[in-house]
C-alpha cells in the first residue's frame, strides 16, 4: 500500500464530496472560478482511486499538471476574494461574483482556500510519490 497515493486519493474524494455538499445540500451556486477548480478536482478523485487500486506509482505524471493548475486557480481565486485591489478585474463574466464567499470561517477560511489546501496536499503527495519511485 502506497501511503502518498492513498492520502492524495482521500484528499481528492473529500474535496469532491465537500464541493458537492456545498452546492447540492447547502445550495451554494458555484462561480466561474469554482467551476474551473471542480473541473480539475473531480477527475483526480477517479484517477487517484484507480491508481491506488492498481498501485500505479507513475500516476504523478498525469496528476501533477491538474493539481498544479488547481493551485494556481484556487490561489488566484482566494486572493481575488481577500485583496480588494484584485476584485475589479475578474475572470468571472456573469452570475455569481468570484469575489463573494459563502463561508468565511475564522475570517480567512473560504471555499477557494479549502480547494487550494486540497490541491497542495495532492501535489505534495505526488512529489513524494515521484521521489520514492524515481
- CATH says 3-86+94-132 is which class? mainly alpha
Burial of 54 (0-12, 13-18, 19+ CB in 10 A): exposed
Domain boundaries, the chain: 3-86+94-132
pLDDT of 19-37, one tens digit each?
999 999 999 999 999 999 9
User: If pLDDT is split at 50, 70 and 90, which confidence band does 89 have?
Assistant: low
Q: What does 73-107 look like in DSSP terms, one character per residue?
A: HHHHHHHHHH-GGGSSS-S--SSS-TT--S--BTT
Which of 60, 61, 41 shows the shortest CA–CA distance to 114?
41
Give the pTM.
0.95
pLDDT tens digits for range 63-87: 999 999 999 999 999 999 998 887 7
Look up residue 132 and give its three cell numbers: 520514492
Amino acid at each position: 500500500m502506497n501511503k502518498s497515493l492513498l492520502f492524495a486519493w482521500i484528499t481528492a474524494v473529500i474535496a469532491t464530496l465537500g464541493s458537492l455538499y456545498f452546492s447540492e445540500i447547502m445550495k451554494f451556486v458555484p462561480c466561474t472560478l469554482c467551476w474551473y477548480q471542480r473541473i480539475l478536482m473531480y477527475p483526480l478523485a477517479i484517477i487517484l482511486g484507480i491508481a491506488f487500486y492498481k498501485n500505479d506509482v507513475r500516476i504523478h505524471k498525469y496528476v501533477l499538471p491538474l493539481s498544479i493548475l488547481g493551485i494556481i486557480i484556487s490561489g488566484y481565486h482566494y486572493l481575488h476574494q481577500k485583496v480588494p485591489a484584485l476584485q475589479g478585474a475578474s475572470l468571472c463574466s456573469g452570475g455569481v461574483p468570484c469575489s463573494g464567499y459563502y463561508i468565511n470561517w475564522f475570517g480567512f477560511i473560504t471555499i477557494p482556500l479549502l480547494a487550494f489546501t486540497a490541491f497542495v496536499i495532492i501535489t505534495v503527495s505526488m512529489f513524494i510519490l515521484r521521489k520514492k519511485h524515481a
